[in-house]
Amino acid sequence: GALGGLWLGLWRRQEAAMAASEEDDDEEEELRRRFMAPPVSGLRELRRRRRELRSRMELLIMETQGEVCRALAALDPGAAFAVDTWERKEGGGGISCVLQDGEVFEKAGVNVSVVFGLLSEEAARQMRSRGKSLKAKDGKLPFCAMGVSSVIHPKNPHVPTMHFNYRYFEIEEADGTKQWWFGGGTDLTPTYLNEEDAVHFHKTLKEACDKHDLKLYPKYKKWCDDYFYIKHRGERRGIGGIFFDDVDSPSKEEVFQFVKSCAKAVVPCYIPIVKRHCHDSFTPEEKLWQQLRRGRYVEFNLVYDRGTKFGLLTPGSRIESILMSLPLTARWEYMHTPPQSSKEAEILEVLRNPKDWVH
């Protein structure tokens, strides 16, 4: 009897192990369907360390990439995303998904990167200039950085350009303590002002922020207006949204949940706007204005954008992925000034004087 009971116990454990293994396989298959490519750290490794925040963040950025790519592809069925996986010899890699020359999108890129190794001296200097006290060991600072980043440039000038980025950073100091922080945001850059679109975009982001703290949206909306400022032009890059960086409180879990809410708001804040306008008629003059506004977009990204600068200063970083944010086409005309009281002048007024869109 005792021996029979032992065999029965072993058999049940084996059955339970087999069932768990099948569940694991089903879960892996489900995750693969949701992603555009296998994760940089490997699915098995992520599942093994699933309780660690680094793993949860990598799964979140992979899922966000998949969600956004599928939503964009559904609006532009004649085009397809090229999926390009790459490795960084210093550690890590990424997945770049780029759609070019579609019917709806001239260029849409959604990138994931997970990189680790030693921080370059220039990158460390850039961080210290933002008030980070980084204590290196023998001049070395091990780091891990991961994020999802996207810029979408539509063909139709009545559909705005949209950008979002959500990222996590971790640095190990000389005494073994780890500094960590999150950053990110979502912002809209229309060629022409449509108040209904602006209100929808900002309200959706405000709802995501309000789930966590009512103070976050006004704080991060202002930060966005201040950050995307083209100083040499005296105007913002677009009509804003939210932006934050170096966020490391109240706790790692609470900030992660906030970032997750923001990432989940990307599709609902933007896709309805694309659907509403992607078949609008437009004139050659309106297309020309779109090209000139894109020139401003390029100016901001190459002169001021912190992410672009950090990427260019990181050894082994992938230049094609960093400069994915640049449009396929843009234009710079000497001394171009739109007529007073024109639709073109209307958007410039808002770019020079940001508005409160939700009250």
The answer to whether residue 58 scores a pLDDT higher than 80 is yes
| Beta strand spans in the chain (E) | 82-87, 92-100, 105-118, 142-154, 161-172, 178-189, 229-230, 235-236, 240-247
Predicted confidence (pLDDT) at residue 20 exceeds the cutoff of 60: no
Tens-digit pLDDT profile for residues 201-224? 999 999 999 999 999 999 999 999
Neighbours of 209 (CB within 10 A): 22
The residues near 211 (Cβ < 8 Å, ≥ 6 apart) are 261
Annotated catalytic sites, by residue?
163
- pLDDT (0 to 100) of residue 315: 76
Predicted local distance difference test score (pLDDT) of residue 175: 80
Q: Which one of 75-79, 192-196, 318-322 scores highest in mean pLDDT? A: 192-196
End-to-end C-alpha distance for the chain, whole angstroms = 76
pTM of the model: 0.89
Residue 163 clears pLDDT 70, i.e. is over it? yes
| The CATH number of the domain covering residues in 33-352 | 3.40.1500.10
The residue among 151, 272, 264, 266 whose CA lies nearest residue 200 is: 272
Here the tokens at position 88 are 């960084």
Tell me the domain boundaries of the chain.
33-352
CB neighbourhood size of 28 (10 A):
14
**Mean pLDDT on 320-338:** 92
Q: Half-sphere exposure of 303 toward its Cβ, with a 13 Å CA cutoff?
A: 14
CA dihedral 326, 332, 335, 338 (to 10 degrees): -70
pLDDT(324) > 80:
yes
Closest CA to 294 of 102, 75, 107, 80: 107
pLDDT in tens, 260-295: 999 999 999 999 999 999 999 999 999 999 999 999
More confident site: 206 or 142: 206
pLDDT score for 119: 79
DSSP lists the bridge partners of residue 229 as 236
**Partner residues linked to 168 by β-bridges:** 146, 182
